[in-house]
C-alpha cells in the first residue's frame, strides 16, 4: 500500500495530462497520430492524404496537424514536416508558398537544422530562394539564438539579385535586440534600414519603443514615440502600454493621464500590473483623490477580465492605507456594476484593514454582502473564512470575550461544514479542529484555545 500511495499522485497527474491532451487535440486525425508510433506516422499520412474527407482541405490539411501536435508532441509534428517536404519534392512542386510554411513551422519548433534542409532542398530543386524564404530562415536562426547564421544569410541577401533584404529583414534583427534591451543593437539596425532606403513602419516603432522601455532608456523611447507621431502613424496598444509603463517609472503623472485617455478612447484595456503601477504613482505623489477620476476613465472599457482587476487594485491600495471610506465606496461601485473580487488575497487585505481600524460592524456588513454575492464569485469561501480567523487571532483583539463573540458571529455565517481536521496557515500558524462532523460554529465555540502559534 505504501508503494501505491507513493506513486499514485504521479499516476493521477499523468492521467490528467492525457485527458487534457485528448481534449485539446480532439478525436480526429491529430488524436490518431498522437497514439501512433513514430515509425507509422508517414504511412498514416499517406493513406489520409488521398482520403475523400480531406479533399476540401486541399494541400494544407497537414498545416493544422502541425499546429495541434506541436505543443503535445513536437517529435510527431516534426515527422509531419519531414513527410510534407518529401511529398513536395517527389511531386515536383515549384511554388514557394508551402516551402515557406515548412520553414515557419520549423521556427515554432525551434528546429533550425530542418529549416536549413528545406532551404537547400529548394535550391537543389532548381528554385532560387526569394526574400520571403530568406526572411523566414533569418527569423528561425534568430529565434534559436544563432546570430552568426542569421548574419551570414543577411550578407548573402545583400549580394543576391532577386532576394534583397527588405524592411522585414531589418525588423527581425531589431526584434532580437529589442528582446535583449540592447539600445546600441536596435539603433544600429534601425539606422542601417534607413540608409538602405526603408521607412520604419508600426512594427519597427513598436520594437524600438518597447525595447528602449525594457532597457529603461525612457528618453530615447520618447524620441521614437514622437517620431512615430510625426510620421502620422497611429500607435497601437503595445506601444501605448510601453509608453505608459515608462511614464510611470519616470513618475510623470501628467503624461500617464494623457496616455490613459488615449488608450481608453481607442477602446483598449490596461493590464493589471500597469493599473497597479499607475495607482502606486498616484499614491506616492499624494494624488490619491485623483484615483476616482482614473477609475471613471477606465470604466468605459468592455474587457470583462481586466475590469474587476482594476477595481481590486484600487480597493487593495486603499485597504493598505486603511482609508475605509474610499475602500467601501469602491467596493460598493464594484458590486453595483455586477463584479466580484477575483482572488482571495484581495478579500484578506480588506478584512485586515477592518481589523486594524477595529471597524467590526462594518466588517460584518462587508462579509454579509460578500456572502450574498458569493454565488457569482470565484473565491473559495472556505479558505477565506479561515483566513479571517487567522487575521483575528494574529491581530489580538481586546479580550477573550470579544474574540469569542467575533468568532461566533463569523461562524454563524458559514455555509458549509468543516471539511478538514487540520488547516495550515501562513507563518507556521495552524488550526486544529476536534471533529469533521462539527459545524463551524460548534467547533469555534467548543475550544478557542485550539488556535495555536
The DSSP symbol for 11 reads: H
The DSSP symbol for 27 reads: S
Note whether 117 and 124 are within 8 A (CB). no
Does residue 272 belong to any structural domain of this protein?
no
Does residue 171 belong to any structural domain of this protein?
no
Distance CA 230, CA 207 (A): 17
User: What pLDDT does 180 receive?
Assistant: 94
Q: In whole angstroms, how far apart are CA 29 and each of 36, 70, 125, 140, 436?
A: 10, 14, 31, 28, 49
Does residue 394 belong to any structural domain of this protein?
yes
Q: Are strands 451-452 and 422-424 parallel, antiparallel or unpaired?
A: unpaired
Does residue 398 belong to any structural domain of this protein?
yes
Cell of 129: 530562394
Note whether 432 and 424 are within 8 A (CB). no
Domains of the chain: total: 1
Question: Under 8 Å CB-to-CB from 18, ≥6 apart: which residues?
Answer: none
Per-residue DSSP letters for 333-353? HHHHTT---SSHHHHHHHHHH
User: What pLDDT does 401 receive?
Assistant: 40
Cell of 222: 520618447
Question: Under 8 Å CB-to-CB from 131, ≥6 apart: which residues?
Answer: 157, 162, 163, 164, 165, 166, 169
E strands, 282-440, in order = 422-424, 430-432
- Its domain, for residue 433, covers 380-453
Digit-by-digit pLDDT tens for the chain (453 residues) are: 444 444 444 443 443 444 344 434 444 788 888 888 888 888 888 887 766 555 445 556 788 888 888 888 889 999 999 999 999 999 888 888 999 999 999 999 999 999 999 999 998 888 899 999 999 999 999 999 999 999 999 999 999 988 999 999 999 999 999 999 999 999 999 999 999 999 999 999 999 999 999 999 999 999 999 999 999 999 998 999 999 999 999 998 889 888 888 887 877 777 778 887 887 787 777 776 676 677 666 655 544 345 666 677 778 878 888 888 888 888 888 888 778 887 777 888 888 888 888 887 888 788 777 767 654 444 444 445 545 554 554 444 444 444 444 445 444 444 333 333 333 444 433 444 333 333 334 444 443 333 332
Does residue 165 belong to any structural domain of this protein?
no
Does residue 402 belong to any structural domain of this protein?
yes
User: What pLDDT does 292 receive?
Assistant: 66
Does residue 278 belong to any structural domain of this protein?
no
- pTM to 2 decimal places: 0.69
Does residue 396 belong to any structural domain of this protein?
yes
Q: Are strands 430-432 and 451-452 parallel, antiparallel or unpaired?
A: antiparallel
Angle, helices 61-70 vs 41-49, to 10°: value is: 150
Q: In whole angstroms, how far apart are CA 130 and each of 95, 137, 255, 311, 419?
A: 11, 11, 45, 52, 66
The span from the first CA to the last CA of the chain, in angstroms, equals 34
Amino acid at each position: 500500500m505504501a508503494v501505491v500511495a507513493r506513486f499514485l499522485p504521479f499516476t493521477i497527474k499523468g492521467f490528467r495530462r492525457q485527458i487534457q491532451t485528448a481534449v485539446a487535440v480532439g478525436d480526429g486525425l491529430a488524436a490518431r497520430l498522437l497514439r501512433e508510433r513514430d515509425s507509422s506516422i508517414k504511412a498514416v499520412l499517406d493513406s489520409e492524404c488521398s482520403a475523400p474527407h480531406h479533399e476540401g482541405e486541399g494541400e494544407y490539411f497537414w498545416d493544422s496537424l502541425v499546429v495541434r501536435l506541436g505543443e503535445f508532441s513536437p517529435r510527431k509534428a516534426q515527422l509531419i514536416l519531414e513527410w510534407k517536404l518529401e511529398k513536395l519534392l517527389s511531386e515536383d512542386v515549384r511554388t514557394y508558398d508551402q516551402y515557406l510554411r515548412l520553414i515557419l513551422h520549423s521556427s515554432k519548433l525551434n528546429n533550425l537544422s530542418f529549416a536549413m534542409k528545406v532551404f537547400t532542398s529548394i535550391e537543389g530543386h532548381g528554385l532560387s530562394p526569394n526574400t520571403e524564404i530568406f526572411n523566414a530562415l533569418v527569423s528561425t536562426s534568430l529565434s534559436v539564438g544563432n546570430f552568426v547564421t542569421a548574419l551570414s544569410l543577411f550578407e548573402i541577401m545583400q549580394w543576391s539579385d532577386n532576394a534583397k533584404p527588405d524592411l522585414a529583414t531589418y525588423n527581425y534583427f531589431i526584434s532580437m535586440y529589442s528582446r535583449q534591451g540592447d539600445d546600441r543593437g536596435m539603433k544600429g539596425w534601425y539606422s542601417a534600414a534607413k540608409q538602405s532606403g526603408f521607412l520604419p513602419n508600426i512594427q519597427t516603432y513598436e520594437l524600438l519603443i518597447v525595447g528602449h522601455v525594457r532597457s529603461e532608456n525612457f528618453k530615447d523611447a520618447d524620441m521614437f514615440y514622437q517620431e512615430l507621431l510625426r510620421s502620422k502613424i497611429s500607435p497601437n496598444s503595445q506601444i501605448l502600454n510601453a509608453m505608459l509603463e515608462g511614464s510611470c517609472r519616470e513618475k510623470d503623472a501628467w503624461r500617464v493621464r494623457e496616455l490613459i485617455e488615449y488608450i481608453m478612447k481607442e477602446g483598449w484595456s490596461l493590464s493589471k500590473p500597469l493599473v497597479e503601477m499607475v495607482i502606486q504613482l498616484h499614491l506616492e505623489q499624494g494624488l490619491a483623490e485623483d484615483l476616482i477620476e482614473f477609475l471613471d476613465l477606465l470604466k468605459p472599457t468592455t474587457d470583462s477580465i481586466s475590469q474587476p482587476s482594476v477595481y481590486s487594485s484600487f480597493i487593495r491600495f486603499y485597504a493598505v492605507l486603511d482609508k475605509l471610506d474610499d475602500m467601501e465606496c469602491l467596493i460598493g461601485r464594484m458590486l453595483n456594476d455586477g463584479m466580484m473580487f477575483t482572488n482571495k488575497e484581495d478579500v484578506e487585505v480588506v478584512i485586515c484593514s477592518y481589523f486594524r481600524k477595529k471597524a467590526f460592524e462594518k466588517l460584518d456588513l462587508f462579509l454579509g454582502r460578500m456572502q450574498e454575492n458569493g454565488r457569482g464569485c470565484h473565491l473559495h469561501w472556505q479558505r477565506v473564512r479561515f483566513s479571517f480567523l487567522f487575521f483575528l487571532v494574529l491581530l489580538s483583539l481586546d479580550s477573550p470575550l470579544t474574540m469569542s463573540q467575533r468568532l461566533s458571529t463569523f461562524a454563524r455565517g458559514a455555509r458549509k461544514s468543516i471539511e478538514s481536521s487540520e488547516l495550515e496557515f501562513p507563518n507556521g500558524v495552524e488550526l486544529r479542529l476536534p471533529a469533521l462532523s462539527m459545524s463551524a460554529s460548534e467547533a469555534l465555540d467548543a475550544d478557542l484555545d485550539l488556535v495555536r502559534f
